[in-house]
Amino acid sequence: MVAIDGRCSGRGVDRRSVVRGAGVVAGGLLLGGLLDLGTAGEAYADSGQPRVYTRREWGARKPRRRGRILDRRPDRIVVHHTATANVTDYSLDHAFRLSRAIQRYHMEHNGWNDTGQQFTISQGGIVMEGRDNTLPAVHNRKHLLGAHVYRHNSHTLGIENEGDYMSVAPPDALLDALADVCAWLCFRYDLDPGRAIVGHRDFNSTNCPGDRLYRALPRLRKDTAARLAALRR
């Protein structure tokens, strides 16, 4: 049965939702118009980009409409958790099924254009492109509008982390991958990790990203800063 986990939802039509399914658990002002950034793939990789599996690789559905690009860079990276069961399957196949399940729920149940977040990270530390055209948008230092933080999508990037971290600590593999992604994003957008990295609850009334992951944010900012310093050398 598919259900919404209200612990992680914000208010209004932009609130993010998560998925529970048999065999798979997954959880402003528009200043620019439509921008065709092409096909995201390895051609967009740069020296600071971690391995990010593209939508084509995980089998994403075509969005109902092309993503909207805002005439600004994001200034916050928002950390989420799916608030779903923690798993022991760290395989690539599981990670891909997770991304497909999130997209299916966001499109079919929420009626959204596409999956809401820009990136998804599995508990095994596998990083996947979320919303369509995310990778080329980052490459071009543009902001692709997402749907993950109520009233704050116009200036934030969302990273969905698989698992429920209210009472359980996130795996090291996930935290390491999250720091890699945050460092790359801070490098591309010239952001300060100490200011840019926040939790969903910093904007909306929600338990997301869980107490344990939220308490890990200082460590995440520190680890991201160390990686960012290396990228800037």
pLDDT tens-digit map of 24-79: 333 322 222 223 333 334 444 566 899 999 999 999 999 999 889 988 899 999 99
Residue 191 lies in a domain: yes
Q: How confident is the model at residue 11, as a pLDDT?
A: 41
Asked whether residue 136 is domain-assigned, the answer is yes
Domain contains 134: yes
Bin 113: left if φ > 0, else alpha if -120 < ψ < 50, else beta: alpha
Is 137 domain-assigned? yes
* Domain tally, the chain: 1
Strands (E), the chain: 19-21, 24-26, 69-70, 76-81, 119-121, 127-129, 143-144, 156-161, 197-199
- pLDDT one-digit tens code per residue, 141-167: 999 999 999 999 999 999 999 999 999
Supply the range of the domain harboring residue 95: 6-231
> What is residue 156's three-state secondary structure?
strand
Position 71 scores a pLDDT of 80
Band (pLDDT 50/70/90 cuts) for residue 215 is: very high
**pLDDT > 80? residue 227:** yes
51: CATH: 3.40.80.10
pLDDT (mean) for 168-181: 98
Task: Write out the two tokens for 80.
Answer: 């989420």
Q: Tell me the pLDDT tens digit for each residue of 99-143.
A: 999 999 999 999 999 999 999 999 999 999 999 999 999 999 999
Could you tell me if residue 1 is inside a domain? no
Cα distances from 187 to residues 118, 190, 196, 216, in angstroms, run: 16, 5, 12, 21
Write down the pTM of the prediction.
0.84
